[in-house]
Structure 1
Amino acid sequence: MASQDNTHRLYGVPHSLYTGIARCYLRTQGITYTEIPTTDADFHTRILPIIQRSIIPVLETPQGDIVQDSLDIIDHFEQQGVQYSAYPDGLLQRVLSVIIAYYGTQAMLPHAMHYRWSYREAQEGFLHDQFAAGAGEAMADKIMSRMNAYLPQLGVDAHTVPEIEASYLQL
């Protein structure tokens, strides 16, 4: 469903780390977009069959092209030329920027999820509000429980928490 105007459609949710990366980039570049929650029927009927898995963010261009993943969304616009490139000009600086981006989005993921879920009682109201805004009231608790259950897979448990917090403070 190509947009009739020049507005991009960003499928994501308010609390998503990766949707936040794409949202920040679009705002910085002044790219017109509408953020659409994954509860939208269009996401289920049109987007999911194309991308073949339930993952966000997904960008739909006004021309109807589908771009999935925050870094692919950034690269999509970088290839077209933007006012404020996300990548430095120098080769060494570019390599370092990719390493830092990877570190922030992948290596720090256990830290981010630890601070989001290990202190869940202290921020339950905020989390529920944000998950309900993105997924609907009925699904919020189910999704929160599923996300919370990922902690062991990320290496976050009672034994690793002191090291995770110490490494975060050191960083």
Structure 2
Amino acid sequence: MATDKKVYQFIAHEPSMFSGKIRPYLQYKNIPYETVIPSVEVRQEILIPRVGWSVIPVIITPGDKVVQDTTAIIEYLEKEHPHPAVVPPTPRQNLVSLLLELFADEWLMIPAMHYRWNKLEHKKYIDVQSGRIIKEHASPLEQMENLDDFKNYRFFKNSIRYMGVNKDTTGEIERSYQEFLEDFQQHLNRYPYLLGYQPCVADFAFCGPLYAHLYRDPVPGYLMKCQAPLVASYMERMNSALLSPTHDVVNGKAVKKSVSPDKQGFLPGDEIPETLQPILQRMFTEQVPVLLDTVKYVTQYMKDKPDVDVLPRVIGWHNFKLGSVTSRRSIYTYPIWMLQRISDYYRSLSSGQQRMIDRFLDRYPRGQELLQADLSGCRVDRMDVRVRRAESAKAKL
């Protein structure tokens, strides 16, 4: 481990979805860091004792503070390194960034996990990525053998069924994802980032599933590069690749190109690009019904089990619909915390700003219903990868 306390330690792994969210953020902010691969030793002697859970990514600050969870990491680092800001300062753009972060973290995870674990054509590539850590001291070819013997490998491989990935839904998952790629490519044809000419938090959230799984893994990576090359290029740009000319030549010397003021920052006037509407429409059509159903089930669970403090990550099963298919998936408790952040932000706005948001959401199915959802019976606080009953909720018992 490094001893230079001026540098953040970033415990992460290249194939890890949520590591893929934080790495480009650190690079964009020019925050000095070193990557620490989560070896068995690191997991046993650092992550479990200091985080309480063998989970990545984690940052260890120059002051030796441990911060876990990508949302918490970005919130912490934005306070420590405020420039350039990635949180839009205007209400509508900030709300859309929060919504799309939730979409990326919890919904784009579905195609990401499906393509990783259901495509046998690239199984050896996936296995060698895992084997480098699980079987650190074996030879490279041995590292990819018999990984089903290891609990951590089986956990990720088998987790897809809880997300609703099964023989009935895989066709719709692939259809929806490929439509998303086309929608996103159309947006990137007009703007380099989600909200204009500067990345917001949601841009980094998109990098999680889109880079770590759907760009790097061979089968979906080939699909992305062939079907949506602008999305593939976006992944490369977000990870610091320089793809377009950056300099002019003046008097025989390379001089960095100037950028006109109208091609900088978030779009003016709190504008949401029209090219984002199909992506938001997909979120409200596919994911929002699941979120609202989750609110109902978690509220009932917390009412029925008042003595439960730390909620299980999964509390049962419910129906969900994707395209023409209805299937079953687990009821996850963690998205309640992310939805709560969005609801709290909305309620912090002035009445005039709320009316403006309401008008904007009127175009989406159940748009206002999402922000008006009653979360009073399922208030939670985040802890590692789980949530617990909020202190305010305990006081009402």
Verify same fold: TM over 0.5. Answer: yes
Q: Which amino acid aligns with 2:125?
A: F
Within 1, Cα distance between the matches of 2:126 and 2:2? 33
Contact 1:2–1:63 under 8 Å retained in 2? no
Give the letter for the 2:123 counterpart: E
Which of the pair has more CA radius of gyration?
Answer: 2
SS at match of 1:72: helix
CA contact (8 A) 2:14 2:20 kept: yes
Q: What corresponds to 2:176 in structure 1?
A: 167
1:47 to partner: Cα distance: 3.3
- In the other structure, the counterpart of 1:75 is 75
Q: Does the aligned pair in 2 maintain the 1:111–1:164 contact within 8 Å?
A: yes
Does the aligned pair in 2 maintain the 1:5–1:62 contact within 8 Å?
yes
The alignment partner of 1:150 has SS state of helix
- Residues 44-87 of structure 1 show CA distances to partners (whole Å, capped at 9, x for unaligned) of 22332121111111100010001001121111111224322221
Q: Structure 2 matches for 1:12-161, cutoff 5 A? A: 12-39=12-39, 41-119=41-119, 121-137=120-136, 141=147, 142=150, 143-161=152-170
CA deviation profile, 1:122-142 (whole Å, cap 9, x unmatched): 112321232233444467623
Distance 1:151 1:47 in 2: 24
- TM norm structure 1: 0.88
Which segment drifts farther, 1-10 or 33-42? 1-10
> Counterparts of 2:134 and 2:77 in 1: how far apart (Å)?
28
Please tell me whether the aligned partners of residues 37 and 135 of structure 1 are also in contact (alpha carbons under 8 angstroms). no
Q: Aligned partners of 2:111, 2:9: CA distance in 1, in Å?
A: 30
* Dislocated runs of 4+, deviation >4 Å: 137-140
**What percent identity do the matched residue pairs reach?**
25
What secondary structure does 1:67 align onto?
Answer: strand
Aligned residues of 2:47 and 2:54 also touching (Cα < 8 A): no
Measured after TM superposition, the shift of residue 42 of structure 1 is: 4.3
Aligned mates of 1:28, 1:136 — CA distance in 2: 33
Aligned residue for 2:14, secondary structure, equals coil
Counterpart residue type for residue 109 of structure 2: L
Quick one: distance in 1 between partners of 2:128 and 2:171? 29
TM-score of the two chains, using structure 2 as the length reference: 0.40
CA distance in 2, matches of 1:20, 1:136: 22
Secondary structure (helix, strand or coil) at the match of 2:175 reads: helix
For residues 68-121 of structure 1, give each alpha carbon's deviation from its aligned partner in whole angstroms, at most 9, with x where no partner exists. Answer: 0112111111122432222111111001001001101101211110011111x2
Secondary structure at the aligned position of 1:34 is classed as strand
- C-alpha separation in 2, matches of 1:106 and 1:155: 12
- Count of paired positions: 170
Contact in 2 for aligned 1:13/1:38 (Cα 8 Å): yes
